[in-house]
Structure 1
């Protein structure tokens, strides 16, 4: 498939054929494509944990029972922001490692990680397979980190379930252009554009959605953010305490 067509036709899949096994060749193609993603200064400040072990995947589902595909997919990848590698470099040159003094190193590493993740999604679809990005691994970030034996300076960002879909999905509509695309400077827009999208998504009628798009995020951001992530970042030396 052409790259542009793959991206235009992106769909998230949560139901996979449990009898389908990803070949080692397919897995390596996905990993190679992922690793060719752009990164700041070619720093490649991420790592990819390939989780094949059923027991580990069962424990991940126990933490996140709403994501059974973590177990039922062919393979589960965990993308982590990795500043341990550059800490090793700093130690080698006997230099200070001052990433805890500001947010920019963490933003850089998370950006690198997200770019690698997206390349993996595109490669998966180019192979005729499907995937779903799993952000809820941050819900129990310390427990996930312990389960995967991650060292300090490493943050789980998102997982990726990959497999052969057994339920067809439709391409989900996106927000109106004027709410997302800006030329030269940020341009404000009327709230009616968001109401228009609410109406579009209601007509799309995805079964798993029980609220208006706008109300879902109003509710979500009215709650206190996940403080486990803040504490994890402090304990693992991303921030100074």
Structure 2
């Protein structure tokens, strides 16, 4: 197994960081450079990365999202933002119309590009002997974050990344059985017993922060009343009608 595949296979999320560790500018720049080289649809690069080192801003983020105190305690917090403002400037320069809210496609493009950049940043961080954790729950306060960071129209916060030196070792989390995820040539139905098997695997793994079985967690999540905060933000930012 080569070093890159070994790194990817052993990736894990860290939530406890050395608050005194200072990330060098060289390391930060290497992570950002790697993120920016991620694949992108038509090389559109429909995202912006906001590097947040300011203590007060990070304290505000934690106040809104107290379950993720690492956003303040990590060495740096990166916010990945879907950016369709940049191409609006392009359209204005060319004097062309900007039909950005006619379809969900632009939102998918921006989200995908940002996610690819995020993953590159995660891998680069691990390669430097550091740890990270992705924060998707920032979308619950996307409106407030957009106002705090003065995001212009057609931009929307997607997820964040806390980066630092871990102080608590984490185990590699088991994934779903391969047969439930990987298919060759066509989709192949599989037995629900694979999901039951994964429930048992995760129970044995014993992650303290999990209070429900894997299957119950997502049954509850998708069975609850829909959250429309993201929809509201996208409409406010001129991205959905």
The answer as to 2:63 corresponding to 1:62 is yes
The answer as to 2:36 corresponding to 1:35 is yes
Q: What SS does the corresponding residue of 2:134 show, helix, strand or coil?
A: strand
- Give the Cα–Cα distance (whole angstroms) in 2 for the partners of residues 185 and 60 of structure 1: 43
Alpha-carbon offset, residue 141 of structure 1: 1.0
- Give the Cα–Cα distance (whole angstroms) in 2 for the partners of residues 141 and 223 of structure 1: 20
Counting matched residue pairs gives 240
- Give the Cα–Cα distance (whole angstroms) in 2 for the partners of residues 46 and 224 of structure 1: 30
**Residue 157 of structure 2: aligned partner:** 156
Q: Deviations over 1:176-232 (max 9, x none)?
A: 011111111111111100000000000101111111000011111111232111111
**Residue 7 of structure 1: aligned partner:** 8
Alignment RMSD, CA only? 0.8
**Residue 104 of structure 1: aligned partner:** 105
- Give the Cα–Cα distance (whole angstroms) in 2 for the partners of residues 6 and 226 of structure 1: 35
**Residue 206 of structure 1: aligned partner:** 207
**Residue 83 of structure 1: aligned partner:** 84
Larger mean CA deviation between 121-130 and 138-147 belongs to 138-147
**Residue 21 of structure 2: aligned partner:** 20
Q: What SS does the corresponding residue of 1:189 show, helix, strand or coil?
A: coil
TM-score when normalising by structure 1 = 0.98
- Give the Cα–Cα distance (whole angstroms) in 1 for the partners of residues 227 and 51 of structure 2: 25
Q: Deviations over 1:78-110 (max 9, x none)?
A: 001100000000000000000100011110110
Off by >2 Å, runs of 4+ in structure 1: none
Q: What SS does the corresponding residue of 1:70 show, helix, strand or coil?
A: helix
Q: Which runs of 5+ in 2 are unaligned?
A: none
Q: Which runs of 5+ in 1 are unaligned?
A: none
- Give the Cα–Cα distance (whole angstroms) in 1 for the partners of residues 147 and 82 of structure 2: 15
- Give the Cα–Cα distance (whole angstroms) in 2 for the partners of residues 138 and 121 of structure 1: 19
The answer as to 2:233 corresponding to 1:235 is no
- Give the Cα–Cα distance (whole angstroms) in 1 for the partners of residues 60 and 51 of structure 2: 15
**Residue 187 of structure 1: aligned partner:** 188
